Amino acid sequence: GAGVSQSPSNKVTEKGKDVELRCDPISGHTALYWYRQSLGQGLEFLIYFQGNSAPDKSGLPSDRFSAERTGGSVSTLTIQRTQQEDSAVYLCASVRGGNTEAFFGQGTRLTVV
């Protein structure tokens, strides 16, 4: 596609439920990042995928969070047993590779009630 696409745009879920957030990067971009941003805060790095290399999971806040990237393209971020503190905007970015420009999707606003 023309840009990074994320779905859903908004998600309201009950505490304890699992959620899946999807990111469709720009075609041909080899690197993909997930960030989250809590209300009024900066961007918090979660996970990074580069080609077929093992992902950098150093930013995942707990083992309830996991992500995969299938076929080097679409990525899914899964949050199990959601908690209220998981409420945030989850942002995905893709990069063509070689330390060049990053482009972000519009984000998924997750609200855990």
CB 50 to other proteins: min, Å? 7
Candidate residues 16, 45, 62, 85; the one interacting with other proteins per rule CB under 8 A: 45
Residue 84 to residues 50, 69, 79: CA-CA distances in angstroms? 30, 26, 12
Candidate residues 19, 23, 26, 35; the one interacting with other proteins per rule CB under 8 A: 35
CA angle at 96 for the pair 93 and 99, rounded to the nearest 5°: 90
The four Cα atoms 108, 101, 40, 4 give a dihedral, to 10 degrees, of -10
Chain-centre distance for alpha carbon 77 = 5
- With CB under 8 A as the contact rule, which of the stretches 18-26, 27-35, 61-69, 76-84 interacts with other proteins? 27-35
Where in 58-97 is the site for other proteins (CB under 8 A)?
59, 89, 91, 93, 95, 97
The four Cα atoms 25, 112, 17, 8 give a dihedral, to 10 degrees, of -30
Interface residues with other proteins (CB under 8 A) are 31, 33, 35, 37, 42-43, 45, 48, 50, 56, 59, 89, 91, 93, 95, 97-104, 106-107, 109
